[in-house]
């Protein structure tokens, strides 16, 4: 899993809860982007889930997915998957925000689907 921002703790918790050998990379910075670490984990694992709380369109996940697809296509065992907020305005109300942003159960399900691919 490659995660950014609030998705990092979710990714770590999901990896621990699933009990699988899941590698988690915290991007920490988008500029500069740690392309070496991203490409190394994609080549090593063959499956990548990119997670962040921004919307899918125009989010950093698209750029990371393009980078992986361009440089690691032959190393992948599954399509690169993204877990993001849907393409809607992020609500201010906490209950609505909770419904829109990726949650732990969403992260675990995305991991299970990718692991089973």
Single pTM value for the model: 0.92
Cα(115)–Cα(84) distance, integer angstroms:
18
Query: At residue 12, does pLDDT exceed 90?
Result: yes
Span 14-65, pLDDT tens digits: 999 998 789 999 999 999 999 999 999 999 999 999 999 999 999 899 999 9
Tell me what the pLDDT averaged over the chain comes to. 95
The average pLDDT across 88-93 equals 93
CA angle 79–13–6, rounded 5-degree value? 80
Contact 25, 50 (CB under 8 A): no
């Amino acid at each position: 899993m490659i995660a950014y921002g609030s998705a990092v703790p979710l990714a770590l918790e999901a990896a621990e809860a699933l009990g699988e050998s899941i590698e988690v990379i915290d991007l920490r910075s988008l500029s500069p982007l740690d392309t070496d670490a991203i490409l190394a984990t994609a080549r090593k694992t063959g499956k990548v889930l990119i997670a962040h709380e921004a919307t899918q369109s125009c989010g950093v996940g698209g750029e990371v997915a393009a980078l992986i697809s361009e440089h690691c296509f032959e190393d992948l065992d599954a399509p690169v998957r993204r877990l993001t907020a849907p393409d809607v305005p992020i609500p201010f109300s906490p209950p609505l925000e909770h419904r829109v942003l990726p949650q732990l159960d969403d992260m675990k399900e995305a991991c299970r689907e990718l692991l089973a691919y």
